[in-house]
A and B are shown apart, each in its own frame.
Chain A
Amino acid sequence: SVNPDLASERQTPSFSVEKLTAWLDGGAEHTRIRRAVVEAIDRDPVFSRENQYFQSQNERYEAAVRKSVHLQKKMHEMGWTENGPEFKYIYRALSGDIAFLLHRIFMRSISMLGSDKQIAKWIPLASQYQLIGSYAQTELGHGTYLQGLETTAVFDIATQEFILNTPKISAMKWWPGDMGRSATHTVVFAQLYVHGKCYGVHPFIVQIRSLQDHSLCPGISAGDIGPKMNFEHVDNGYLMLQNVRIPRENMLNKFCEVQPDGTYVRRGSQKINYFTMTTVRISLMSDEVITPLMKACTIAIRYSVVRRQSKLEPGEQEAKILDYQTQQEKLLPQLAAAYAFHSINNYLEELFDKGYREIQRRNFDTLPELHAFSSGFKALITQHCTAAVEICLRACGGHGYSSLSGLPSLYTKILASCIYEGENTILLLQTARFLIKCFMAASAGQSVPPSVTYLAAVKPGKCPAKNKLDFLRPDIYTEAYQHMAVRLVSSTAAKLQNLIQSGVKKHEAWNRCTVQLAQAAKAHCHYITVKNFAETVEKLETKAGIQKIMKHLCDLFALHGIFSNAGDFLHDGYISGAQMDMVTASYLDLLPVIRKDAVPLVDAFDFTDKTLNSALGSYDGQVYQRLYEWAQKSPTNKQMSPAYERYLKPLLHNTLSKL
């Protein structure tokens, strides 16, 4: 039975939960397919995550491998294919607790960077799991800065082979997933040398383990890099190469090739090598970043209406903690952010699909803009969502700290997203470089990509809001964000130019402006997110109350951003002190409004209890009962700890006090 405190929250939603779910899924048909996939997976005991919180690293890894293998069978049984509509829901249903994710990146990089011949050779083997692939880019001493990689691949004309080496300890490949224990092959990124000349970083397919007995190939040292904050199920690995020889044909050569006589040939733009990374960044947002935030919100908000603490009115029973303004102010902006990022992510996915088709046609015009988008939004969304999940965790007080709440594992997993696929600060600076360039071009009257035309249309002036209700107008707050972004970009560009004109070297001037540049890039992405959310809400159907509640969330997201970055908006007086008080008032007024729909809004995310795997967040709200039952399953309660016989007993039996 559902806890009455939770049931009462669901009685009078202002909108149709089912319709909102359908909107989130992109249509009722998608909802139907997703639910079918989730149900099939939830019902299969092999995929159960019931004991996950009690397992060791070794057990987690084994379970992930077992599930991945079982998944092949399951897909066959269910008639799911990699190109079918079900496929994208499988990962969500498994909560990513599965091995061989890098195997997919391995295949993707071959498809994108390999010649037709290479694709024909490797892809069938990989899809049949006759080999297991990984993707080895990062080194112990080198991460985001690819040019700094130290692994070498020297072409030997005599044998028509590349000789791969790890010249020093910092050049060891470090972190690649699936490489510590599982992979038989990996794509190694190495500095290519032909006739003593370095041609920069290129990808090579290298076999690292025997296909017969899985033992390491000659010249290869590889293993697991040890425990991490999360990803216990993934064997992130290290790889050392000593004179490992691979045939010439193993360099992925769609865009660059070393011919038998050692001639280096380049076809098309080198930039394309980085497009893999660019698309990966965006493709990760939904499953790895936004979905975890939605889960965290679901857990924290459901728990906050079940948990009662202290009194709001004397003589009444203790209040639900979600009725406290401070608790609303912690959680509801995170809920609004989840919807805002869901919306911008849809937009980005469309943009990238379009961009990808262009690039297939060898039209690279949109590449700089896409790159700036992927870098900036990856940084903004991962940073924001990571912080948001942590807020949800801490908003659950002591019980949030229990692994059984599900929140610690959501947090430790999402926070890795701030680093992988490009460290966030570096990514923001890449976006900033694009913005500065476009700003200069726009100022000189040249044409710029559509996302940044606003930089040219600098309108001086003041925010026209007259009362607090004006701040519920999307044109008013979108304009404020735009003004702030333009101000930060233009003032940083001016400072950069001043420094250079005063004789400071370009690179030094750049370094001295990087704190501001990163802020400007963030402001740009924040502006686009607000603008996109407002436009999305505008287009929603007015039926079933969906537009109305989404408008509230959009307002909250926008005003929370102004409230928390007040200095940026007050700085040049665009928003006055009196207007800032109106922003605060409108912002705080929205909290109790959205509060009423908080539970329906997380119900709309439509996570099953098995997907959430949280003692605090289940649909029925039987929080305490579940916490108590789950704790009984802990190995610490099942096995007698040897600590008692060995240490506690002598301690208690007074052997020590004789001293």
Chain B
Amino acid sequence: VNADLRRERAAATFQPELLTHILDGGAERTRRRKEIEALVINDPDFQHEDLNFLSRSQRYEQAIRKSSLMVMKLREYGIADPEEIYWFKSFVHRGRPEPLDLHLGMFLPTLLTQATPEQQDRFFMPAWNLEIIGTYAQTEMGHGTHLRGLETTATYDPATQEFILNSPTVTSIKWWPGGLGKTSNHAIVLAQLYTQGQCKGLHAFIVPIRQLGTHEPLPGITVGDIGPKFGYDEMDNGYLKMDNFRIPRENMLMKYAQVEPDGTYVKPLSDKLTYGTMVFIRSLIVGDSARSLSRACTIAIRYSAVRHQSELKPGEPEPQILDYQTQQYKLFPLLATAYAFHFVGAYIKDTYHRISGDISEGDLSELPELHALTAGLKAFTSWTANAGIEECRMACGGHGYSRCSGIPDIYVTFTPSCTYEGENTVMMLQTARFLVKSYTQVSSGQQVTGMVSYLNDLARQRIQPQHVAAKSATVRINDPASLVEAYKARAARLVEAAAKNLQAELNHRKSKEDAWNRTSVDLVRASEAHCHYVIVKLFAAKLSDISDAAVRAVMTELCLLYALYGISKNAGDFLQAGILTDAQVTQVNQRVKELLAVIRPNAVALVDSFDFHDIHLGSVLGRYDGNVYENMFEWAKKSPLNKTEVHESFHKHLKPMQAKL
């Protein structure tokens, strides 16, 4: 191990394993995770050449090869717990997407939740055994987050008892579904249902798209790959165009809504349950934000401990770049953010599991708030992580730009999460809708509960207006609980401002939608402030759960850094609302820099605690042993351009040119 990293690890004030256990949810979970990791990493079947040197087709092929083996081995090892499957899969594919993701993550679960028992008999076992490989085709070329705008049609023909599927326009071509281009032979297609001359809205249909046996597209089906993307090289995101393609009536997923043989439409009972799935998927994205940012931090911080550059003290050797205040200021707030998001992800998951327990007993009262909250948190965490990964890459200078750093891959794999499962701005506005609704309730004298209960205080403040200076004097910048209060005050102020601006617009304009649109920048800010408050609150609450004193001390420092850095970056909000004075903001700025120095000795241990295996990390700069430069050289030698010593371009182009000039 590189001497710098050895020294860093020796100087840590806490045991990284203990922190790892907290992140995993207990020592036993850590042990099991590592056991599964070893199963994959020691398996020669899952070894392959560095993907950076392969073409897209080759990467797809590798991914398919590994996915097939993965399915086989999961069954061989009897791994069935969803979280354990997730670990296994992410070790096999090293955190990248794979062509069976939609089959395993959407096609099978949708069959389970939306198919009738008869349909399950027909489709589930073949799909489980991968005779049927399916995907989930929702997004169209012209339509994304706004589902009602989808154009694909499924028209019921009672004469033959079939649905006729059509893509009536170019914009209605299904576009983007993973695994659709080359892998799947079936798709669950979302289409506008027409029966008896009436449109009944969106429904899901099981559509065979390729011939079993030859894998050729069926007549009436045009299917293919949508071409190269920023990332997702392993994934055959596809397009699907249907021309009068007929499927039997029994292929509509009919557990809820139904079309009877004569074409009579039977309405579903409730659609609230679909909230549950959305909440679950968004909680996964929050967790993914935390993990992706953690990986980027691990790489950037280890590399910054190994890289020496320039001089701090005249005459002394070049210092580790992690000793520069500017470098610490770039990286440590992100490290704190990664921890904060881990705890938020765990909170949503736990709350979801608790509420889903209630769902079976019929108590859905908490679901709307959780749904509204997770929309905003999905957007907040994915935006922050997206920017944070880029900052980590940038903090690695030129070498961060090389594919060998691994950060470009983390970024391009992660960044679509700002768009999929609900475009982030739209998500923020969903949360805002809930906040405005809660504010309106409070204004009309009702009490609200849960994470928005701080809005109740607004009503009280109007009765007893507090003096601004008195309010700000109460903020104690070294006390997480007090900082939670400051964030709460900021959220309350911004929600109130947005709600009032909305009301003012409503007084001026005719339509609600127009007023909403003209206030949407304010509304997004209000949502962001609310989410920020929730995150600081959850991070601060987590501290008391930590039993080991040394770990709790370092987590408290990170929590303070997270909260104070957020204040420093959004000082305008806190100043304008009179939550903090100029002098306090100056103190906050100063305290942030002090905390950087306090955290510095533990920085490497704090990323070691994330416990990413080198193979999973996929980075030459972030190697656990820190032997960066030798390995960069070894890596570069394998580059495709280096396959021959004299590149063919020399003979084809350069030499003839030199002869002519």
A→B interface (CB under 8 Å): 53-54, 56-58, 61-62, 65-66, 69, 72, 128-130, 132, 138, 140-145, 147-148, 169-170, 172, 174-175, 180-182, 213-216, 223-229, 235, 238, 307-314, 318, 323-327, 329-330, 390, 394, 397-404, 408, 412, 415-416, 418-420, 423-426, 429, 505, 507-508, 511-516, 518, 565-573, 577, 580, 588, 624-625, 627-628, 630-637, 639, 641-644, 646-654, 656-657, 659
Which residues 396-413 of B sit at the A interface, judged by CB distance below 8 A?
397-398, 400-404, 408, 412
A-B contact pairs, 10 of them (CB 8 A): A129-B661, A141-B308, A144-B310, A223-B639, A226-B639, A514-B326, A633-B227, A634-B226, A636-B60, A651-B64
Q: Complex Cα distance A416/B324, Å? A: 22
B524–A56 touching, CB < 8 Å: no
Task: Report the stretch among B136-144, B195-203, B286-294 that lies at the interface.
Answer: B136-144
Task: Report the stretch among B154-162, B604-612, B627-635 that lies at the interface.
Answer: B627-635
A570–B637 touching, CB < 8 Å: no
A644–B215 touching, CB < 8 Å: yes
- Specify which chain A residues have a CB less than 8 angstroms from the CB of B408 in the assembled complex: 228-229, 412
- Specify which chain A residues have a CB less than 8 angstroms from the CB of B226 in the assembled complex: 402, 627, 631, 634
B64–A312 touching, CB < 8 Å: no
**Given A129-B661, A401-B416, A631-B227, does the pair A224, B571 have CB atoms closer than 8 Å?**
no
In the assembled complex, the CB of B516 is this many whole angstroms from the nearest CB of chain A, namely 9
In the assembled complex, the CB of A648 is this many whole angstroms from the nearest CB of chain B, namely 6
A325–B518 touching, CB < 8 Å: yes
**Given A142-B309, A225-B636, A397-B144, does the pair A313, B513 have CB atoms closer than 8 Å?**
yes
- Specify which chain A residues have a CB less than 8 angstroms from the CB of B275 in the assembled complex: none
A577–B326 touching, CB < 8 Å: no
Candidates A148, A419, A652; contact of B318 at CB < 8 Å: A148
A143–B639 touching, CB < 8 Å: no
Interface of B is mostly: helix
Q: Complex Cα distance A213/B647, Å? A: 11
A313–B313 touching, CB < 8 Å: no
Query: Which of A144, A214, A312, A508 has its CB near the most chain B CB atoms (within 10 A)?
Result: A214
Query: Which residue of chain B is the closest to A515 with respect to CB atoms?
Result: B329
Chain B: number of interface residues, binned into ranges? 35 or more
**Given A145-B310, A630-B227, does the pair A641, B521 have CB atoms closer than 8 Å?**
no
Q: Complex Cα distance A235/B519, Å? A: 50
- Specify which chain B residues have a CB less than 8 angstroms from the CB of A238 in the assembled complex: 633, 636
- Specify which chain B residues have a CB less than 8 angstroms from the CB of A637 in the assembled complex: 181, 224-225, 227
A634–B228 touching, CB < 8 Å: yes
- Specify which chain A residues have a CB less than 8 angstroms from the CB of B587 in the assembled complex: none
Query: Which residue of chain A is the closest to B226 with respect to CB atoms?
Result: A631
Q: Complex Cα distance A342/B355, Å? A: 55
Told that A138-B398, A657-B130 touch, could you supply 12 new A-B pairs with CB distance under 8 A? A53-B227, A213-B646, A398-B175, A425-B330, A571-B571, A572-B582, A577-B577, A624-B142, A636-B60, A637-B225, A647-B61, A651-B68
Query: Which residue of chain A is the closest to B316 with respect to CB atoms?
Result: A507
Candidates B228, B571, B642; contact of A53 at CB < 8 Å: B228
B517–A324 touching, CB < 8 Å: yes
- Specify which chain B residues have a CB less than 8 angstroms from the CB of A313 in the assembled complex: 511, 513-514
Q: Complex Cα distance A182/B651, Å? A: 11
- Specify which chain A residues have a CB less than 8 angstroms from the CB of B185 in the assembled complex: 652
Candidates B402, B578, B629; contact of A170 at CB < 8 Å: B629
Q: Does chain A have a CB within 8 A of B149?
A: yes
B402–A228 touching, CB < 8 Å: yes
Q: Complex Cα distance A141/B653, Å? A: 34
Candidates A215, A307, A314, A327; contact of B142 at CB < 8 Å: A307
Q: Which 9 A-B pairs have the closest CB atoms?
A: A566-B572, A567-B571, A657-B129, A224-B641, A226-B639, A634-B227, A408-B230, A636-B225, A145-B310
Candidates A216, A330, A512; contact of B325 at CB < 8 Å: A512
Query: Which residue of chain B is the closest to A131 with respect to CB atoms?
Result: B658
Q: Does chain A have a CB within 8 A of B361?
A: no
- Specify which chain A residues have a CB less than 8 angstroms from the CB of B121 in the assembled complex: none
Query: Which residue of chain A is the closest to B139 with respect to CB atoms?
Result: A398
Which residues 10-68 of B sit at the A interface, judged by CB distance below 8 A?
52-53, 55-57, 60-61, 64-65, 68
- Specify which chain A residues have a CB less than 8 angstroms from the CB of B423 in the assembled complex: 397
**Given A213-B646, A416-B401, does the pair A227, B657 have CB atoms closer than 8 Å?**
no
B72–A61 touching, CB < 8 Å: no
A651–B130 touching, CB < 8 Å: yes
Q: Complex Cα distance A57/B638, Å? A: 13
**Given A397-B419, A398-B416, A398-B420, does the pair A225, B224 have CB atoms closer than 8 Å?**
no
Q: Complex Cα distance A394/B411, Å? A: 13
B513–A314 touching, CB < 8 Å: yes
B653–A66 touching, CB < 8 Å: yes
Q: Does chain A have a CB within 8 A of B81?
A: no
In the assembled complex, the CB of A132 is this many whole angstroms from the nearest CB of chain B, namely 7
Q: Complex Cα distance A228/B640, Å? A: 12
Q: Complex Cα distance A397/B228, Å? A: 16
- Specify which chain A residues have a CB less than 8 angstroms from the CB of B308 in the assembled complex: 141
A507–B312 touching, CB < 8 Å: yes
- Specify which chain B residues have a CB less than 8 angstroms from the CB of A129 in the assembled complex: 657-658, 661
Q: Complex Cα distance A390/B568, Å? A: 24
Q: Complex Cα distance A518/B330, Å? A: 12
In the assembled complex, the CB of B528 is this many whole angstroms from the nearest CB of chain A, namely 12
Candidates B146, B213, B225, B397; contact of A310 at CB < 8 Å: B146
Query: Which of B593, B650, B652, B653 has its CB near the most chain A CB atoms (within 10 A)?
Result: B653
Q: Complex Cα distance A238/B236, Å? A: 35
B309–A148 touching, CB < 8 Å: yes
Candidates A314, A390, A570; contact of B575 at CB < 8 Å: A570
B639–A181 touching, CB < 8 Å: no
Which residues 547-589 of B sit at the A interface, judged by CB distance below 8 A?
568-578, 582, 585, 589
Query: Which residue of chain B is the closest to A656 with respect to CB atoms?
Result: B72
Query: Which residue of chain B is the closest to A642 with respect to CB atoms?
Result: B61
**Given A404-B227, A580-B576, A652-B212, does the pair A57, B641 have CB atoms closer than 8 Å?**
yes
- Specify which chain B residues have a CB less than 8 angstroms from the CB of A390 in the assembled complex: 390
Q: Complex Cα distance A223/B402, Å? A: 15
- Specify which chain A residues have a CB less than 8 angstroms from the CB of B517 in the assembled complex: 312, 323-325
**Given A309-B149, A326-B521, does the pair A65, B215 have CB atoms closer than 8 Å?**
no
B173–A69 touching, CB < 8 Å: no
- Specify which chain A residues have a CB less than 8 angstroms from the CB of B438 in the assembled complex: none
A61–B57 touching, CB < 8 Å: no
Q: Does chain A have a CB within 8 A of B245?
A: no
Q: Complex Cα distance A511/B329, Å? A: 12
- Specify which chain B residues have a CB less than 8 angstroms from the CB of A312 in the assembled complex: 513-514, 517
B312–A329 touching, CB < 8 Å: no
**Given A143-B397, A235-B641, does the pair A69, B239 have CB atoms closer than 8 Å?**
no
Q: Does chain A have a CB within 8 A of B356?
A: no
Candidates A148, A224, A627; contact of B636 at CB < 8 Å: A224
In the assembled complex, the CB of A325 is this many whole angstroms from the nearest CB of chain B, namely 5
Q: Complex Cα distance A426/B102, Å? A: 45
Query: Which residue of chain B is the closest to A330 with respect to CB atoms?
Result: B425
Candidates A214, A227, A408, A577; contact of B650 at CB < 8 Å: A214
B239–A631 touching, CB < 8 Å: yes
Query: Which residue of chain A is the closest to B644 with respect to CB atoms?
Result: A181
